[in-house]
Amino acid sequence: MGLVDKVELPQPIKFVFNWGRRYSLWVFNFGLACCAIEFIATSMARHDFIRLGVIPFAHGPRQADLLVVSGTLTDKMAPALKRLYDEMPEPKYVISFGSCSNCGGPYWDSYSVTKGVDQIIPVDVYVPGCPPRPEALLHGILELQKRIGSESLKQRYIDADSRPEPIVVDA
């Protein structure tokens, strides 16, 4: 990877570096249910998360920095999600959007629904709601960007499996 995984960047360079990363988040929408509609609403003119530097509709997981799981993940779909996540290049972030992807939501006792995507992939931000409003997703994105802004890439690359405690957006 070069220098960033060997030395801690000096604070001003780190600031500029992370500033660039936090405002060019190519996002991949793993839309599985009605939450995907709220995600799309967030990307459209009224809420418009492009103004926050979130660039929607990455052409594939290999071009994406941020994965938003929006909707009900079933056990049958779970291997596809895991594979998609594994295809994304580091550094990568995951937002779990909506009750279904957080914990199974209304399908908490179902025979076919995975009770939370965090059983499959690590999650950085949980956005609760059924479905959450676009503002909630914007809030989640802002919280994630705050975290990216103060992140040490060296730490991240050295210990790729460790993640800080996930952020839970207040309802």
Partner 1 sequence: MDAAALTDHLVAELGDAVTPVIEHDLLTATVAPGDWRRVAELLRTDPNLGFDYFEFLSGVDEEAEGLGVVLHLYSTGRRHHLQLRTIVPREGGVIPTVSDLWLGANWHERETAELFGITFEGHPHLVKLLLPNEFEGHPLRKEFALLSREAKPWPGAKEPE
Beta carbon of residue 61, minimum distance to partner 1 (angstroms, whole number): 22
Of 15, 16, 24, 76, which lies in the binding site for partner 1, with binding defined by CB under 8 A? 76
Based on the shown chain and the rule CB under 8 A, indicate whether residue 33 belongs to the binding site for partner 1.
no
Spatial distance between the Cα atoms of 67 and 150, rounded to a whole number of angstroms: 20
Minimal distance in Å, beta carbon 151 to partner 1?
Answer: 36
CB of 33 closer than 8 Å to CB of 70: yes
Taking the least distance from each CB to partner 1, the nearer of 57 and 108 is 108
Q: Edge-to-edge strands of the sheet including 25-31? A: 54-55, 25-31, 66-70, 93-97, 125-127, 167-168
> Quick check: 110 binds partner 1 (CB under 8 A)?
yes
- In the numeric block, the tokens 């990363």 are attached to 21
Q: Any bridge partners for residue 126, and if so which?
A: 96, 168
Q: What is the largest CA-CA distance in the chain?
A: 52
**Binds partner 1 by CB under 8 A, chosen from 17, 31, 63, 75:** 75
What character string, x for contact with partner 1 (CB under 8 A) and - otherwise, covers 88-107? Answer: ----------------x---
- Is there binding between residue 109 and partner 1 (CB under 8 A)? yes
Residues 50 and 141: beta-carbon distance below 8 Å: no
Residue 170 in the binding site for partner 1 (CB under 8 A): no
- Binding interface with partner 1 (CB under 8 A): 75-76, 104, 108-112, 115
